[in-house]
């Protein structure tokens, strides 16, 4: 009962300490292994995005440089002959493809239809006259995250009307959480903010960057800001490409809706765009093609400007991008129609609208993108698969290690616990084994000393009992001492040639009278005659005695002990048989272990130390032999000793 409770406790411990953590670990590992492919992709996207950020900033810096170059080279005065100075500018600066000149009232001084103008000039006038003379508005692009930076970062301020965002006009407002700010924005679209100090440029940049990162990472904010922009009359547009840079769960490209561009637009006139500034670049779409207009305010009033040569601009930008193609990826710029600026000849046709990662360039190049494509998209998948396989192998090895380690530890624990329990039982048993013969020896000795028993026959019987109890004591103490010696490896044998058959016979005969008095039938049969072995007499006797005394102890109703000696080739077989209860078959291989007792309870009918058989086995093995147990036909036990013979003595 107790044994069962203990082993079920160990089973629970095994489940809690090994099986449960293993299952949890398996669950976590399987989940993360399955995501490995997505993680590999994400890591790659992040790395490539860094390159894109760099590329975008190079392009923007180049646009600044172009603007400054044009500003520096533009004719400063509305000269008497504008044609000469503008034509001179065009021939000097190739980028300035179609120069123009405006009066302070935004009347076109050059080119005019009356002059001798080129085809370029004529088409410039057709497409731009309405705009540069301030009679028509064109869409002006702005970064939505910058435009609504205060709402995004949580400042309560409402942005100025589209296109009129003046940094100086920004008000300082109290900081609130982004969601709270947006909530306020929804409830009260025009929040009247308290007048505040203008922020420094550094603070502005900081807010812009914060807004940008919140805008990029929080889809909810994005959605609210786009809604807000549309509500205030701004135009939103889709990006020209659909990059894969999406969270792993939303990775299914086929179903992915085109992303919205971060650049939104609102119509503005030339006078609004040029207000408060000296010079700038204006992007505009003419028949779906992007055209850049440069303008510069003249000191005496009026404007000089030009349409930039699109092909030259593209060439300048292409030259800037270092390392367009590497072995693993293609980094390129896509124009407003989603076409790469350069395509290597040996590249197969691919879907340029599905880059691996992409970034919009700026409000000065709306719909342009910097994009990265994988040279071999399958390579990444196979790398991810390899990592997945390696991880599976690793996880499998770990599981096997944990399970086998856990099982080993628990088994060791179980056997240690068993041993500890057996040792405790052993101490109790041995104490009892010592006490019982001592009590009866003392009792009979006292009776004899006080001469309370006059009958000489009974006196003899008492003396016999005392002798046999002393023998029992000696056997027990010998067993304990032998065991200790064996454990320490100190057991020494004084081996000599001896007749083991004779040894058995003398043992049986020495016990016969006592046993027969106790109601035993004892038989001895020797088929071999003499059986010479090389052995230690004392130890072999001890071993035989242990088997013999077990046969006596464990005999119950039928008290019969049979000893026989036979031979097989070069071995002698000594069998000690009884008609007791025998050993249950599942215990048969355990009875030779130290301290093991089939019935180990202290209330067991037969007392013992659990050392008799292990000591007997050790002694016999030390003599090159073995002991085996067999159930006896008709009930009972057979303990068979096999010892190597050293040959019969010559007559
Ligand atoms: P013990 O001191 O308990 O007898 P042993 O090592 O001699 O220790 O025996 C181990 C166990 O083997 C015993 O507790 C008993 O259950 C079983 N056993 C040994 N000999 C016999 C036998 N002849 N008949 C039945 N059971 C036996």
DSSP string, 171-205: PP--B--HHHHHHHHHH-SS--PPP-PPPPHHHHH
Residue 610 in contact with ligand 1 by CB distance below 6 A: yes
591 lines ligand 1 (CB under 6 A): yes
pLDDT-derived band at 522 (thresholds 50, 70, 90) equals: very high
Q: Ligand 1 in contact with 143 (CB < 6 A)? A: no
User: What phi and psi, each to the nearest 5 degrees, are found at residue 533?
Assistant: -135, 170
Task: Give me ligand 1 centre to Cα 611, in Å.
Answer: 9
What's the CA gap between 401 and 388, in Å, rounded? 20
Judged against a pLDDT cut of 80, whether residue 81 lies above it is answered with: no
Q: Determine the Cα–Cα distance for residues 231 and 222; give it in Å rounded to an integer.
A: 14
pLDDT of residue 413 exceeding 70: yes
Which atom of ligand 1 is the closest one to the Cα of 576? 23
* CA nearest ligand 1 atom 8, residue: 610
Confidence of residue 170 (pLDDT cuts 50, 70, 90): very low
* pLDDT confidence tier of residue 511, bands split at 50, 70 and 90: confident
CA–centroid distance, 610 to ligand 1, in Å, is 7
Determine if ligand 1 sits within 6 Å of the CB of residue 580: yes
Assess whether pLDDT exceeds 70 at residue 163: no
Q: Which atom of ligand 1 is nearest to the CA of 578?
A: 23
pLDDT at position 458 is 86
Residue 182 has pLDDT above 60, yes or no: no
234-243, 272-281, 552-561, 641-650: which has the minimum mean pLDDT?
641-650
pLDDT at 580: 93
Return d(Cα 303, Cα 76) in angstroms, integer. Answer: 10
CA of 507 to the centre of ligand 1 (A): 19
With a 6 A CB cut-off, is 66 part of the ligand 1 pocket?
A: no
Going by pLDDT thresholds of 50, 70 and 90, the confidence category of residue 389 is confident
The pLDDT mean for the chain works out to 83
> pLDDT tier at 1 (50, 70, 90 boundaries)?
low
Q: Quick one: pLDDT at residue 3?
A: 59
Which atom, in ligand 1's list, is nearest to the CA of 551? 23
φ/ψ (deg, to 5) at 270: -60, -40
Closest C-alpha to ligand 1, atom 23: 551
* Contact indicator for 598, 587 with CB cutoff of 8 Å: yes
Q: Is the pLDDT of residue 647 over 70?
A: no
Q: Which residue's CA is the closest to the ligand 1 atom numbered 16? A: 598
The two structure tokens encoding residue 382: 């196979």
Atom 25 of ligand 1, nearest CA residue: 582
Determine the pLDDT at residue 80: 61
User: How much is the pLDDT for 338?
Assistant: 87
Tell me the per-residue pLDDT of 93-122, one tens digit each, with 9 for 90 and over. 889 989 999 988 999 988 887 767 788 888
Nearest CA to ligand 1 atom 14: 597
Q: How confident is the model at residue 245 (pLDDT cuts 50, 70, 90)?
A: low
Distance in angstroms (rounded) separating the CA atoms of residues 50 and 153: 24
Asked whether 636 lines ligand 1 (CB < 6 A), one says no
Rounded Cα–Cα distance for residues 101 and 303 (Å): 6
Ligand 1 pocket check for 441: Cβ under 6 Å: no
Report the DSSP pairing between strands 521-526 and 560-568. Answer: parallel
Quick one: which atom of ligand 1 is closest to the CA of 592?
A: 6
Cβ–ligand 1 distance for 476 under 6 Å, the answer: no
- pLDDT of 176 reads 37
- Tell me if 373 CB under 6 Å of ligand 1: no
Residue carrying the six token digits 């005659």: 529
Window from 71-75, 498-502, 603-607 with minimum mean pLDDT: 603-607
- Any atom of ligand 1 within 6 Å of the Cβ of 228: no
With 0-12 CB in 10 A as exposed, 13-18 as middle and 19+ as buried, what is 320?
A: middle
- Checking if the pLDDT of 634 tops 80, the result is yes
Question: Is a pLDDT exceeding 80 seen at residue 381?
Answer: no
Confidence of residue 199 (pLDDT cuts 50, 70, 90): confident
Average pLDDT of 423-451?
Answer: 84
Q: Given a cut of 50, is residue 352 above it in pLDDT?
A: yes
């Amino acid at each position: 009962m107790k044994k069962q409770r203990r082993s079920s406790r160990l089973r629970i411990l095994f489940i809690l300490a090994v099986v449960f953590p293993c299952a949890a670990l398996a669950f976590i590992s399987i989940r993360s292994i399955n995501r490995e492919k997505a993680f590999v992709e994400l890591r790659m996207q992040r790395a490539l995005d860094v390159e894109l950020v760099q590329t975008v900033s190079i392009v923007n810096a180049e646009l600044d440089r172009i603007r400054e170059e044009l500003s520096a080279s533009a004719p400063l005065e509305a000269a008497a002959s504008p044609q000469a100075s503008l034509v001179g500018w065009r021939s000097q600066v190739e980028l300035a493809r179609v120069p123009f000149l405006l009066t302070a009232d935004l009347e076109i001084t050059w080119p005019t239809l009356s002059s001798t103008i080129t085809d370029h000039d004529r088409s410039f006038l057709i497409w731009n006259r309405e705009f540069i003379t301030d009679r028509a508005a064109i869409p002006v692009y702005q970064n939505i995250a910058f435009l609504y930076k205060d709402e995004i970062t949580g400042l309560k301020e409402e942005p100025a009307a589209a296109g009129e965002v003046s940094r100086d006009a920004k008000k300082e407002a109290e900081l609130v959480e982004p969601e709270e700010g947006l909530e306020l924005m929804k409830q009260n679209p025009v929040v009247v903010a308290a007048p505040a100090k203008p922020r420094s440029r550094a603070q502005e940049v900081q807010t812009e960057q914060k807004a940008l990162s919140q805008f990029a990472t929080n889809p909810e904010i994005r959605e609210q800001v786009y809604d807000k922009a549309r509500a205030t009359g701004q135009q939103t547009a889709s990006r020209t490409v659909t990059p894969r840079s999406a969270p792993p769960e939303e990775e299914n490209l086929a179903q992915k809706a085109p992303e919205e561009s971060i650049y939104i637009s609102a119509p503005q006139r030339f006078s609004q765009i040029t207000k408060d500034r000296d010079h700038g670049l204006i992007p505009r779409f003419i028949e779906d093609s992007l055209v850049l207009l440069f303008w510069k305010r003249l000191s005496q009033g009026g404007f000089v400007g030009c349409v930039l040569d699109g092909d030259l601009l593209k060439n300048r930008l292409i030259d800037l991008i270092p390392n367009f193609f590497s072995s693993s990826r293609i980094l390129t710029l896509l124009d407003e129609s989603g076409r790469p600026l350069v395509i290597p000849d040996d590249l197969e046709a691919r879907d340029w609208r599905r880059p691996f990662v992409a970034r919009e360039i700026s409000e000065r190049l709306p719909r342009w993108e910097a994009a990265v494509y994988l040279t071999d998209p399958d390579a990444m998948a196979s790398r991810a698969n390899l990592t997945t396989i390696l991880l599976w192998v690793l996880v499998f090895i770990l599981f096997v290690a944990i399970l086998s380690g856990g099982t080993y530890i628990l088994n060791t624990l179980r056997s240690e616990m068993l041993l500890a329990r057996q040792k405790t039982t052993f101490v109790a048993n041995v104490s009892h084994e010592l006490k019982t013969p001592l009590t009866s020896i003392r009792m009979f000795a006292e009776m004899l000393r006080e001469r309370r028993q006059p009958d000489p026959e009974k006196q003899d019987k008492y003396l016999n009992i005392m002798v046999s109890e002393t023998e029992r004591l000696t056997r027990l103490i010998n067993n304990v001492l032998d065991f200790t010696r064996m454990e320490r490896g100190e057991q020494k044998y004084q081996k000599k040639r001896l007749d083991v058959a004779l040894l058995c016979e003398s043992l049986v005969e020495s016990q016969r009278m006592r046993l027969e008095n106790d109601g035993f039938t004892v038989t001895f049969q020797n088929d071999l005659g003499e059986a010479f072995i090389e052995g230690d007499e004392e130890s072999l006797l001890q071993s035989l005695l242990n088997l013999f005394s077990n046969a006596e102890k464990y005999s119950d109703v039928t008290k019969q002990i049979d000893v026989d000696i036979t031979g097989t080739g070069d071995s002698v077989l000594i069998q000690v048989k009884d008609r007791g209860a025998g050993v249950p078959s599942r215990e048969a291989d355990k009875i030779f272990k130290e301290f093991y007792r089939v019935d180990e309870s202290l209330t067991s009918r037969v007392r013992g130390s659990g050392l008799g058989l292990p000591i007997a086995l050790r002694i016999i093995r030390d003599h090159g032999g073995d002991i085996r147990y067999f159930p006896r036909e008709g009930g009972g036990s057979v303990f068979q000793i096999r010892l190597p013979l050293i040959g019969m003595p010559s007559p």
